[in-house]
């Protein structure tokens, strides 16, 4: 009797969770010794959980700004290519233009790197919850040869926690969305319940 009830509860939680439905239809598997697969899998799961189940809308400003710098850098390179290969301007005449194109390309590429180091840093998600009228910022960091990942969740205050990828991936590298939702959801909803009580 208890087994049938627990299985019904699991089915109900799955059907009510868009996050769990997503990972049921498209399961995620990481290469066994590929650290990047585990990190990307967890980072993507955080975004999906927050947007699909927890009511957050992602703010893409940082990614858009980073891409804009990249597009500007590429535009300098493309214009230099256009001058050399399509206009076929003599080299002596095109030198000033090429100098500007090369300088512009390296300048904006350098700006991209600075933006990544000092602005974007380890941020993988920032968003806003209209119901709570609250912004959230999540950072994740993991050393290349480590099984540990550290999260910093910032709203009214910051919460930092370190855990192992092994909590959410089995020995074959298969990601458990249900375990992830139970574990990571606690950190995100911990302050939400307090905020709702205060409202």
**What pLDDT digit, counting tens, does each position of 85-132 carry?**
888 788 888 889 999 999 999 999 999 999 999 999 999 999 999 998
Res 157 pLDDT > 90: no
Average pLDDT of the residues in 20-35: 94
* Residue 79 maps to a domain: yes
- Residue 113 and residue 88 in one domain: yes
Q: Which helix (H) or strand (E) holds 160?
A: strand 158-164
Structural domain that includes position 74: 62-120
For the segment 174-193, the average pLDDT, to the nearest whole number, is 82
- Domain membership of residue 11 (yes or no) is no
Domain boundary among 92, 120, 148: 120
Give the model's confidence band at 199: pLDDT under 50 very low, under 70 low, under 90 confident, else very high: very low
- 88 and 104 share a domain? yes
Tell me, yes or no, whether 18 lies in a domain. Answer: no
Distance CA 112, CA 199 (A): 41
Mean pLDDT of 144-164: 91
Q: Are residues 158 and 193 in the same domain?
A: yes
What is the structure's pLDDT at 13?
Answer: 55
Residues 45 and 137 in one domain: yes
Q: Is the pLDDT of residue 196 over 60?
A: no
- The answer to the question of residue 16 being in a domain is no
Contacts of 37 (CB under 8 A, 6+ apart): 30, 31, 173
Q: How long a stretch of residues is the chain?
A: 199
Do 66 and 100 belong together in one domain? yes
Query: Cα(first)–Cα(last) distance of the chain, in Å?
Result: 40
Cα–Cα distance measured from residue 27 to residue 44, given in angstroms and rounded to the nearest whole number: 12
Tell me which of 71, 86, 120 is where a domain ends. Answer: 120
Q: Among 98, 120, 142, which residue terminates a domain?
A: 120
State the pLDDT at residue 190.
65
Burial label for 50, CB within 10 Å (0-12, 13-18, 19+), is buried
Tally the domains of the chain.
2
Residues 50 and 71 in one domain: no
Residues 67 and 107 in one domain: yes
Is the CB of residue 20 less than 8 Å from the CB of residue 13?
yes
């Amino acid at each position: 009797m208890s087994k049938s009830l627990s299985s019904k509860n699991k089915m109900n939680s799955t059907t009510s969770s868009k996050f769990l439905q997503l990972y049921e239809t498209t399961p995620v598997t990481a290469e066994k010794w590929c650290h990047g697969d585990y990190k990307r899998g967890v980072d993507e799961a955080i975004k999906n959980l927050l947007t699909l189940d927890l009511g957050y809308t992602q703010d893409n400003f940082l990614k858009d700004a980073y891409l804009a710098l990249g597009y500007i850098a590429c535009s300098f390179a493309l214009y230099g290519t256009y001058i050399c290969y399509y206009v076929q301007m003599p080299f002596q005449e095109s030198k000033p233009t090429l100098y500007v194109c090369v300088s512009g390309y390296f300048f904006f590429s350098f700006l991209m790197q600075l933006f990544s180091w000092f602005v974007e840093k380890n941020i993988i998600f920032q968003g806003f919850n209209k119901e709570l009228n609250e912004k959230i910022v999540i950072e994740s960091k993991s050393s290349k040869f480590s099984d540990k990942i550290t999260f910093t969740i910032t709203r009214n205050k910051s919460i930092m926690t370190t855990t192992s990828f092994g909590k959410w991936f089995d020995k074959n590298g298969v990601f458990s969305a249900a375990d992830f939702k139970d574990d990571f959801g606690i950190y995100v909803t911990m302050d939400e319940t307090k905020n709702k009580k205060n409202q």
